[in-house]
Amino acid sequence: MNDVRRSAAALEVRGLDVYYGHSHALQGVDLTLESGVFSVVGRNGMGKTTLCKAIMGLVGVSGGSIRVRGEDVTRRPPAQIARLGVGYVPQGRRLWRSLSVEEHLRLAGGMRSGAWTVERIYDTFPRLAERKDHGGGQLSGGEQQMLAISRALLTNPQLLIMDEPTEGLAPVIVAQVEEMLLRLGEDGDMSVLVIEQNIGVATAISRNVAIMVNGRINRIIDSARLAADRALQQRLLGVGLHAELEPDIELPASGPEAKPAPTPRRDGPIRIYISNPTLPTRWSQPVPIARIEAAARTLSTQVARLDETARRKREPVAAQTAGPPVVLVVGTLDTKGVELRYIRDIIAESGLRTRLVDVSTSGKHSSCDVSAQEIALNHGRGGSAVFGPDRGTAVTAMADAFVSWLRRQGNIAGVISAGGSGAASLVAPGMRTLPVGVPKLIISSVASGDVGPYVGPADITMMYSVTDVQGLNSISRAVLANGANALTGMVKARLDGRAAPARETSKLPPVGITMFGVTTPAVQKIAADLRDDFECLVFHATGVGGRSMEKLVESGQLAGVIDVTTTEVCDLLMGGVFPATEDRFGAIIRTRIPYVGSVGALDMVNFGAPDTIPERYRGRKFHVHNPQVTLMRTTVEENERMGRWIGERLNLMDGPVRFFVPEAGVSALDARGQPFWDPDADAALFRTLERTVRQTGNRQLIRMPKNINDPEFAAAIVGAFRTLFGRTGARRRLAR
């Protein structure tokens, strides 16, 4: 009987061991998937991706067995496993940026005949049909995930393995992926093993969920019970604060006879436990209950009851991890708890979901939705890197951990914080990673000064707190309430805008263009020629302008870049007031989107009023643009330096690149008869670029005997961009 059952199982893993060197990554994993959809959840580093790779034959197996439909596939090559009917959607999608959607699908089709064809893929994912001629690098994150899933479906697998299918996706795309997984499970054509960190998705798509801890399947639990119990999620996944931990808790088997878990009583003092007093490793054994009990502390019942009551008014705890959009109220609860809870309650009363997130570095425990300990575990070196004796180091580490945690949250509708300079520096880096348009507000005593270091290239709103954020009084209540209500209004307006059925918004592919006053004619001509087919977003090249453009590139919100004005490099290398960062061009390098660039305004370094110019530059050629802006002409040596710097970064770009050199001048001031006309300095720049740039079929340096503002030069840039983007005049719209 057992043999019959085993032969019918879609997947059966027994005693699986995998090592990376001396690290025991998988430790005797046992797992059976009979049919349908089955989820495996766990924190980072627990071995989930290794399990996927072991099943697919991508990593060596040291012990145990893997059977697919009764056939032993242990240690077989990946190609054989795929031909036996195992499909794989890897974490990170793994698409070819240079191949179109259609080419991806045609390559994947034909391995095994079955119900899934390219035509059915286009019916299932109409968005892919609209984008079938676009390269993998031109797709949004959601479109890339659709393509990765489609590529696996076209192999018509009996078993489909999906590693983090909703990672980094917008909430609306997460919902689409969840719906598709439910349909696959209902169709019965294939079985699906889903590796997920999103508890909401994992529990929605499968009846039972496996919890993976330190390379082992810790237990398998009914998904309804796991979804309904936030404390149970924290206890089993080993993060956060855990109240009323029962020794050696026994979970009832799932099934119709299983009784719902009793709701814990809150009548007496509440005990707070840390399930991992020492950060776990792959070699860790379960922590003895006696040790956890010894480390427990008692929480004031009054504070706990008030907080629990407020949470019940806002939202059932079960819905906190996923689902509808949520507003994060973030700060240092050890010192600003009263103020942050005041903000949280105002936002919650408006009907929005909220999560109170602690980023304190003191190590103290506070009642909240996401603890500082949970955030700290997202640091590359774990909590020990965050809760150290040096406050500056701890703040930096916690800010990094918060950034990592925030990047994995897929349902953020807005973020608000309140505090001093420390709190602002903790929260601002995370806010800057969120897409433009997501409301972000910081109420701080530092907001009346230079907020550039906090805001950076992001659309963060900063509000001056008037009094210090230290207790509630008539002034602080008014200011904090204004901030809370302002964020509520922004969030609701944005959500209402998304829900509007036919709002008139541009659906043209957005392209970023850099401009300075001395390159304005060129940019105006380029934008006018492209406006019928592209949405042209122009960025003022003042340092933060270039960073803002590249932030949109990094977040997938630009389809291409026309970097006419690279003058920020001058200020970076020569100490001007509008400098780029060392990561200028980095987003282009990483995303490989179509890039057309030029040397606009590399003839000038920007300074303030004349008396602010550094002493080392006295005696140079200057042009006073206005009383507050003085321009300095770059020399032959400086142009050679810039040519090398830019050329080296162009060599790192693997996407399509066309870089134009205007031999008759790089700005309006660098034209014959104008103040900065210097053919020798320009020639040094052009010569160095030619020597540095390694030209290929994909990366070309193009010289033209024109000034950068000549109409012919702008027309050449437009033609090159259209060619790179694959748009020969047909108007195609891009759904955002």
Where is 237: in which H helix or E strand? Answer: helix 230-237
Where is 87: in which H helix or E strand? Answer: strand 86-89
**What does the pLDDT read at residue 570?**
95
**What does the pLDDT read at residue 719?**
92
**What does the pLDDT read at residue 287?**
55
CA-closest candidate to residue 167, choices 377, 386, 404, 381: 404
Per-residue model confidence as pLDDT tens digits over 375-399: 888 887 777 778 877 777 888 888 8
Per-residue model confidence as pLDDT tens digits over 322-339: 457 899 999 989 888 889
Contact 47, 163 (CB under 8 A): no
- How far apart CA 209 and CA 40 sit, in angstroms, is 6
**What does the pLDDT read at residue 710?**
96
Contact 688, 636 (CB under 8 A): no
Euclidean distance between the first and final Cα of the chain, in Å? 53
User: Residue 577: which residues within 8 A CB-CB, separation 6 or more?
Assistant: 543, 571, 606, 607, 608
- How far apart CA 504 and CA 215 sit, in angstroms, is 50
- How far apart CA 53 and CA 37 sit, in angstroms, is 18
CA-closest candidate to residue 712, choices 658, 664, 679, 657: 664
DSSP collapsed to 3 states, 468-535: CCCCCCHHHHHHHHHHHHHHHHHHHHHHHHHHCCCCCCCCCCEEEEEECHHHHHHHHHHHHHHCCCCE
User: Residue 122: which residues within 8 A CB-CB, separation 6 or more?
Assistant: 128, 129, 132
**What does the pLDDT read at residue 633?**
96
Q: Which residues of 488-524 are buried (b: 16+ CB within 10 A; e: fewer)?
A: bebbbebeeeeeeeeeeeeebbbbbbbbbebbebbbb
CA-closest candidate to residue 508, choices 466, 537, 546: 537
| Under-70 pLDDT residues of the chain | 1-8, 93, 110-111, 168-173, 187-188, 230-232, 234-323, 498-506, 726-736
Contact 532, 511 (CB under 8 A): no
Task: Locate 179 and state its tokens.
Answer: 């719906």
Q: List residues bridging with 213 in a β-sheet.
A: 216
Q: List residues bridging with 32 in a β-sheet.
A: 12
User: Angle at CA 111, nearest 5°, toward 105 and 50?
Assistant: 85
**What does the pLDDT read at residue 735?**
32
Query: 242 phi and psi, to 5 degrees?
Result: -130, 115
User: Angle at CA 268, nearest 5°, toward 264 and 271?
Assistant: 75
- How far apart CA 516 and CA 541 sit, in angstroms, is 6
**What does the pLDDT read at residue 377?**
85
